[in-house]
Amino acid sequence: MKTKNTRQTIATSTKRYAVIAFAAIFLMMLAACGTEAPPVEPAPLPADVSELPEHIDKDSVEAQSVSTDDAQDIGQGSTVFRLEVTDDTDMVTAWNVHTDEATVGDALVAVGLIDNAEYFVEVNGIVADFDADEAWWAFFIDGEMAMEGVGTTNIEPDVTYSIVYTIGWG
């Protein structure tokens, strides 16, 4: 008789554990339904202009440049650099940025063209929303894709910096 009771006890315990395990798995799945997926990190930027998406002139970002006479003076300071922004309609606006800041990013924050030197989604009032349509701002130094962001790029004389509204990765 002990053997039969032992078998029933083992069978009952096994069923309980199975029900508990099933309930735990079900609760974990249910809890996961309410959470958002973690943000997707963008792929590394292309090293040169030839790897840019189709809507950007691959021959040269400089081909979109505006004349020196069309650049607006903005800011105050002893250092001056040229900034060209290509917006979401491929219109290029140029500034001669006057600053005493050390980096391009800090200078652009100081004159109000961007709000954050390390990570920005808005330039001159135009938002690039990666989550909505994979839009982002590409940064160029003399027509070459920059290897660093605006926040860590030191201002150099006789250099043209460009920020280009970009959709997708290629």
Q: What is the DSSP string of 44-108?
A: PPPSSGGGS-TTS-SS-GGGGPPPGGGPEEEE-SSEEEEEEEE-TTS-EEEEEEEE--SBHHHHH
User: Structural domain boundaries of the chain?
Assistant: 1-35, 49-167
How far is 105 from 25, CA to CA, in rounded Å? 48
- Predicted model pTM: 0.61
**Residue type at position 15:** K
How confident is the model over 100-124, as a mean pLDDT?
Answer: 94
Percentage, residues of the chain above pLDDT 90: 53
CATH code: domain 49-167 is 2.170.130.30
Question: Band of the pLDDT at 97, cuts 50, 70, 90?
Answer: very high
- Range of weakest confidence among 62-71, 103-112, 130-139, 153-162: 62-71
pLDDT over 70 (residue 103):
yes
How far is 23 from 10, CA to CA, in rounded Å? 20
How confident is the model over 42-47, as a mean pLDDT?
Answer: 42
Averaged pLDDT of the chain: 77
Can you count the helices (H) and strands (E) in the chain?
A: 3, 8
